[in-house]
Chain A
Amino acid sequence: MISQFFVLSQRGDNIVFRDYRGEVPKGSAEIFFRKVKFWKEDEEEEAPPVFNVDGVNYIHVKVAGLFFVATTRVNVSPSLVLELLQRIARVIKDYLGILNEDSLRKNFVLVYELLDEVIDFGYPQTTSTEILKSYVFNEPIVVDAARLPTLGPASMFMQGAKRMPGTAVTKSVVATEPGGRKREEIFVDIIEKISVTFSSSGYILTSEIDGTIQMKSYLTGNPEIRLALNEDLGIGKGSASLYDYRSSAGGAVILDDCNFHESVRLDSFDVDRTLALIPPDGEFAVMNYRMTQEFTPPFRVNALIEEAGQLKAEVIIKVRADFATSVTANTITVQMPVPTYTSRVSFELEAGAVGQTTDFKEGAKRLEWCLKKIVGGAEHTLRTKLTFSQESHGNIAREAGPVNLNFTIPMYNASKLQVRYLQIAKKSPSYNPYRWVRYVTQSNSYVARL
């Protein structure tokens, strides 16, 4: 089982270090860090999450710029350890509100308290934020949330003009509010990561949505919750054939597959697509799903590179937002590698462009175009002139691209999966907690080929 657990900063400092079994020599953190930092095996530049040095297995995840590492000499299940590490990070975040190097350093004694109960002699005991509450006696020392960028999917609600009731996301499950009373509230976030590949002619080669319904509850007394999804939601490829003629016309949502948190009861799921659960404290994924059914991609991207005389070429990138005008996408980054022999670049933004910046990354030979926001229905174009230091050989399009987009669109989801209602079992007539249901779509791999 797990022999040691430690958290290292980006510079390799031990922030917490717990030895559970004393089977692995003390210098393991240093060995690990050196190996990760200077990884050069198998032509790969990035250390894989699992590797073995002198009979010791090092298993790690990167969370919030920190390394969460477990060591063991046993042939364990890698999934188990990786899931456990990820969960430990989440539990710590539940307690500290924010997970970063600063908050960990300020609260390391609390973290040791948690670690004592989460793992005993290398065997995982419990990772339930709720159960752990009774074992933790340190008060979290809150770090300033505004000063540091938080990580994790929920952080996207902090950005942009439309500020969400974001404080909750960084609220500890144990800290008491300044007012004394805890605010009764529950957050349900539908977060979708989308991957689309466009061919050079603009045709969609592959598309996929990986979604998760994430919940964070601050309700006291553990009331039961019912979460209703689209009534005509289909699951599995088998159900697709039944609806096939409708699906492309914007009919039923068909998921390829999904999985659920263990607290979820599916008694009436087959009848009316309702999930019932008593949400445990802290943040967790109620349901994960995957969809390859056709959907309208939020952006259409057209990119073109053409030779324009000797040692010159022109690049035109067009981005069109294919969603309702009421929706606005945030912080869009468009990147495109250009031929390695590109020596000079001049950008030409459209007339009256606001909140757009361009950059040529000399080292990586990459164009970068950042847009603060794109309103639904809008189209933006960037023209770029390239100057080469040598003549291109043959097909210039093969030496540039593909174009990659990064973006976040709040209050939008590509799959059309909906939470129809969120019902909380009432304890008294006056009990009416706040409920927030929020949607967000994020790019995972959004690529247009040349």
Chain B
Amino acid sequence: MAPPPIVQQKSSSPSQPSGKSEVSDLKLQLRQLAGSRAPGADDSKRDLFKRVISYMTVGIDVSAAFSEMVMCSATSDIVLKKMCYLYVGNYARCHPDLALLTINFLQKDCRDVDPMIRGLALRSLCSLRVPNLVEYLVSPLSSGLEDGSPYVRMVAVLGVLKLYHISATTCFDSDFPASLKNLMLTDSDAQVVANCLFVLQEIWNLEANKSEEANRERETLLSKQTIYYLLNRIKEFNEWAQCLILELISKYIPSDSNDIFDIMNLLEDRLQHANGAVVLATIKVFLHLTMSMTDVHQQVYERLKAPLLTLVGSGSSEQSYAVLSHLHLLVMRAPMLFSSDYKHFYCQFSDPSYIKKLKLEMLTAIANESNTYEIVTELCEYAGNVDVPIARESIRAVGKIALQQYDVNAIVDRLLQFLEMEKDYVTAETLVLVKDLLRKYPQWSHDCIAVVGNISSKNVQEPKAKAALIWMLGEYSKDMPDAPYILENLIENWDDENAAEVRLHLLTAAMKCFLKRPPETQKALGAALAAGVADSHQDVHDRALLYYRLLQYDVSVAERVVNPPKQAVSVFADLQSSEVKDRIFDEFNTLSVVYQKPSYMFTDKEHRGPFEFSEEIGNLSLDQESMDNAPRFDESDKDLLLGTSEREENGGTSINGAATPGYSAPHDYNSSLVPLSSQTQSEPAVTSQTSFAIDDLLGLSMLAAPEPPSLKLNSKAALDPGTFQRKWGQLGVSISQEIPISPQGVGSLTTPQALIRHMQANSIHCIASGGQSPNFKFFLFAQKDDGSASFFLVECIVNTSSAKAQVKVKADDASASEAFFALFQSALSKFGM
């Protein structure tokens, strides 16, 4: 085939959008060529078609030339045909009337002698995406599925899926799924088989919520017979098909341990594949199969280390990132298994920052007695790095390791050395860390204070760091001779201080300092309170006023409030709940791992992929049928989600629960506020998820916060499950806490209904619930009774054997969530009384 002659010059600059005249010019030229049989006409057509396609690519609308393009398509030149197909596929959807013009020649091409033309035409025909043309698809598709050429069958199988998306009823009426099922189990061509599987997976997954039959069909894909059929042929499939088949196998529930070992032996060599996607898909199978066999599971970890590390080193940095994200997940789950491999996670000069960040987190996680010295030494090298974000991250990593209690002595020394580097960002990060360290290891205060005292507050600009420095000035004002004067200086510049966080800390620090060294601080405190009361920021204003009145009322009370004896923080709370982590692990080898979020947080329901777990609430209230039938062994023992037996029962109650109006509003919420505040004071680190981290840091949280407005709940609140689900996805957790349940409560909780009725009496309604003893899970909601549509959403997981409830509150109005939580807690504490 000779190369087209004119093409070179013209197509090299395809993208100058010069508007309509170009398009009409093209139309004219196409029309002239349409009927031409002259030699060289095809070459000129090719040139014109290329120009049309290049306009299309850059986004210029060339749909005006549709009829001309179709006229020119009567050709035997396959290059022209392909360009024409591409064009038609692109514009048919928005010009359905014109699409009709193409049906004729496409149908004709579907009967061509050349299987390539048949395939191409069939693919284009199915890609038109025009609903009223589906009738023309059925017969070419049926013959395509029985075509002698595997290429045509391959195209036809995916054509069925395209048809399904245009018109599901036509697809089912023609019984295509059954034909595909048959084809999948009998066809000799591996790609045809693989395509059948993809199509059936997608169709049944989308249909599963709608019909019992679809559900059964979805299950058959996971039957032992199908799985072994695919497993035995695994090497015939190309690497991409292997990946998707392995994904399917990872959902398979093995019948016994022999079954497990058979599969693992069959797939063992897949771990040596050069394609990282195949290796990760295999690893997922291994991990999920051995979930219930602790020792084998651990062996799997050991086995997969080497191949993963090789993949990290061999691909592009993007590929490394995907693999490293998974390694990161495994390291976080079982840090001790990786503690001797720490050198592999050292940052390399050429690593992009997204890789360095992951590596730093892994180094932090695997630090233990044996390797801390080396790891910290390495991290300290990065602290002077030219890459500032990484330098910061490294310093934070050192701090986190110190909080894990390894080798604290040496680390404190190093942190103090950072302060001597006199680089702004290093100083800033270090100050924040030293503050956290002091909260955990008060015994180091002497060493730290000596160094911190030398830092000029002028060199500290970042609000977080400044706040940390001020906290230390207040807390250790006794040991720092200059503290009152530094504070005084800072207070003088009150108006230049933009961050409310810093001003809040200044107030508190001035108070603390005053109570310890009154004569020196009196003037500064006066200035601070005056400035604070006049402050435009509500919290600052409120806190200043509170301090002022406290001092007026009784100085000794103020002392007790501001300077109570503090307990050292033992554990800083983990940011992610273990449930979320388990969910991410279940979704191994998906984007969830890279984002470090379970899929329901970033994907809408219909796109969650085959056999994905539905959203947690969906599990409970909406997806009854699919839940019962879908295989989900992953949840078996460790998950707090529902067991299988009680679902129908709950389905009924949850709906009733939401609809039936409650009886009476609660009456004594105010009394419950008092114990809450005293409780937070004695435990300074309630959790890091709570919204009042600043106060928490000061150790006087509730008293300093503005007094919560009194809260009444709407006893007739109603919320439909869909809205609940959406809100739950959108809102952040404002309170997460574990609360004890009385023995009477435990005794009464034989079925979820008991608690549901009780909470309803307190105007807190249940939307979904489930579980078996000892674990029960409830999703509840309540509404403010002030006419606003402000809702509170609650997830409550009750474990009767430990007599504790894990409560998460999300609220439209987060400021009211504390009051609501108090209400909730008091209601729960009365359960069973």
Which A positions have Cβ atoms within 8 angstroms of B?
A: 1, 13-17, 19, 22-23, 26, 42-46, 48-50, 52, 55, 57, 60-63, 73-80, 82-86, 102, 105-106, 108-109, 112-113, 116, 120-121, 123-128, 134-135, 137-139, 141, 193, 195, 197, 206, 208, 210, 212, 236-237, 256-262, 285, 287-290, 292, 337, 364, 366, 393-394, 398-399, 402, 404, 444-447, 449
Does B392 reach chain A (CB closer than 8 Å)?
A: yes
For the complex formed, measure the closest distance between the CB of A247 and the CB atoms of chain B, giving whole angstroms.
18
Q: Which residue of B lies closest to A261 (CB)?
A: B274
List A contacts of B352 (CB < 8 A): 46
For the complex formed, measure the closest distance between the CB of B457 and the CB atoms of chain A, giving whole angstroms.
18
Q: Is the CB of A259 within 8 A of B279?
A: yes
Give complex CA distance A109, B81 in Å: 12
The A interface is mostly helix, strand or loop, or mixed, namely mixed
Q: Is the CB of A290 within 8 A of B314?
A: yes
List B contacts of A60 (CB < 8 A): 318
Q: Is the CB of B310 within 8 A of A262?
A: no
Give complex CA distance A212, B161 in Å: 40
Task: Given A43-B389, A257-B310, verify A404-B591 contact (CB < 8 Å).
Answer: no
Q: Is the CB of A46 within 8 A of B354?
A: yes
* Other-chain contact of B3, A74, A139, A287 (Cβ < 8 Å): A139
Give complex CA distance A77, B50 in Å: 35
Q: Is the CB of A444 within 8 A of B11?
A: no
Task: Given A82-B319, A236-B306, verify A76-B591 contact (CB < 8 Å).
Answer: yes
* Other-chain contact of B86, A44, A84, A112 (Cβ < 8 Å): A112
List A contacts of B83 (CB < 8 A): 109, 112
List A contacts of B430 (CB < 8 A): none
Q: Is the CB of A137 within 8 A of B78?
A: yes
Other A-B pairs, 4, CB within 8 Å; known A1-B198, A55-B607, A125-B191:
A75-B599, A77-B589, A106-B8, A108-B11
* Other-chain contact of B603, A15, A55, A112 (Cβ < 8 Å): A55
9 A-B interface contacts by CB (under 8 A)? A61-B318, A75-B591, A79-B277, A83-B275, A112-B53, A116-B82, A120-B158, A258-B272, A444-B348
Q: Is the CB of A44 within 8 A of B274?
A: no
The count of chain B contact residues (Cβ–Cβ below 8 Å) is 103
List B contacts of A446 (CB < 8 A): 349
Q: Which residue of B lies closest to A120 (CB)?
A: B158
* Other-chain contact of B604, A49, A73, A85 (Cβ < 8 Å): A73
Q: Which residue of A lies closest to B50 (CB)?
A: A109
* Other-chain contact of A75, B2, B162, B421, B612 (Cβ < 8 Å): B612
Does B175 reach chain A (CB closer than 8 Å)?
A: no
List A contacts of B86 (CB < 8 A): 112, 116
Give complex CA distance A124, B311 in Å: 21
B342-369, CB < 8 A from A:
343, 346, 348-354, 357
For the complex formed, measure the closest distance between the CB of B699 and the CB atoms of chain A, giving whole angstroms.
29
Q: Is the CB of A109 within 8 A of B594?
A: no
List A contacts of B591 (CB < 8 A): 50, 52, 57, 75-76, 78
For the complex formed, measure the closest distance between the CB of B513 and the CB atoms of chain A, giving whole angstroms.
30
Q: Which residue of A lies closest to B85 (CB)?
A: A116
For the complex formed, measure the closest distance between the CB of A80 and the CB atoms of chain B, giving whole angstroms.
4
Does B58 reach chain A (CB closer than 8 Å)?
A: yes
Give complex CA distance A329, B162 in Å: 56
Q: Is the CB of A80 within 8 A of B389?
A: no
Q: Is the CB of A135 within 8 A of B116?
A: yes
Q: Is the CB of A83 within 8 A of B599?
A: no
Q: Is the CB of B277 within 8 A of A83?
A: yes
Q: Is the CB of A256 within 8 A of B277?
A: no
Give complex CA distance A15, B592 in Å: 30
For the complex formed, measure the closest distance between the CB of B78 and the CB atoms of chain A, giving whole angstroms.
5
Give complex CA distance A60, B316 in Å: 11
List A contacts of B325 (CB < 8 A): 78
- Report the stretch among B238-246, B256-264, B542-550 that lies at the interface: B238-246
Q: Is the CB of A289 within 8 A of B310?
A: yes
* Other-chain contact of A285, B161, B241, B274, B313 (Cβ < 8 Å): B274
- Interface 1/0s, chain B 271-285, versus A by CB < 8 A? 011111101110000
* Other-chain contact of A212, B275, B314, B612 (Cβ < 8 Å): B314
Task: Given A112-B86, A206-B343, verify A288-B348 contact (CB < 8 Å).
Answer: no
List B contacts of A195 (CB < 8 A): 348
Q: Which residue of A lies closest to B355 (CB)?
A: A48
Q: Which residue of A lies closest to B86 (CB)?
A: A112
List B contacts of A113 (CB < 8 A): 82
Give complex CA distance A17, B326 in Å: 30
